[in-house]
Homo-oligomer: A and B are copies of this chain.
């Protein structure tokens, strides 16, 4: 972001900041953003508590920074792969697949970071909540944009409601993630894939453009 880099290498401060945040996302993914504590971070990283604290100035700022890193990771694992696919229905399906894979891969040890953060802060005002809301809204908008293109390209039926379809695909994917954590199995992913494919085929003008629904 800033001029923190000096010929490709991170400054000292920026380096430990990264170390702290990488551990922070792991802790927060299992213990929640509120369960994330500066003391635990410092002891696990063998860094003084005040050293950790100095990087952020407040716990809220630490939470926001943690959220920002998690967002970067999400973009890298989900958004970017989708953008590599051909615009329209292909990209939509790739987005669903990439997000399911990202959840199955356990990129964060505690499951999808944003699903956890969203339910944790959905009834608690503040800047952290605002940031989460913005992220979730962006994600839904991203779905909707892709769906709109698919409609314009004639791949999805004219009467498809982009916001509604986005909601449905998001719900199925999101729930698959938490269910797989809760029940500690992967059948949720299989079901989500079936459900998503079924829904897309029912909205597609040419269902054969999509992978077959697995039995």
**Chain A interface residues (CB < 8 Å from chain B):** 29-32, 34-35, 109-111, 115-116, 118-120, 122-124, 132-133, 136-137, 161, 163-164, 167-168, 170-172, 174-176, 178-179, 181-183, 188, 191-192, 194-195, 199, 202
Contacts and interface: CB of A to CB of B under 8 A. Distances in A.
A136 to B, nearest CB: 6
A183 B134 CA distance: 9
Shortest 5 CB-CB distances between A and B: which pairs?
A: A171-B175, A122-B181, A110-B123, A119-B119, A122-B182
Given A167-B195, A202-B202, A111 B122 contact: yes
Contact of A30 (B35, B123, B199): B123
B178 A119 contact: yes
A167 B182 contact: no
Given A136-B182, A164-B194, A194-B164, A32 B120 contact: yes
B163 A168 contact: no
A175 B167 contact: yes
Contact of A123 (B29, B133, B191): B29
Contacts of A178: 118-119, 122
A163 B172 CA distance: 14
Contact of A35 (B34, B174, B188, B191): B34
Given A122-B181, A202-B202, 12 more contacts: A29-B123, A31-B34, A111-B119, A116-B120, A118-B178, A119-B119, A119-B178, A132-B182, A137-B183, A167-B188, A171-B172, A199-B199
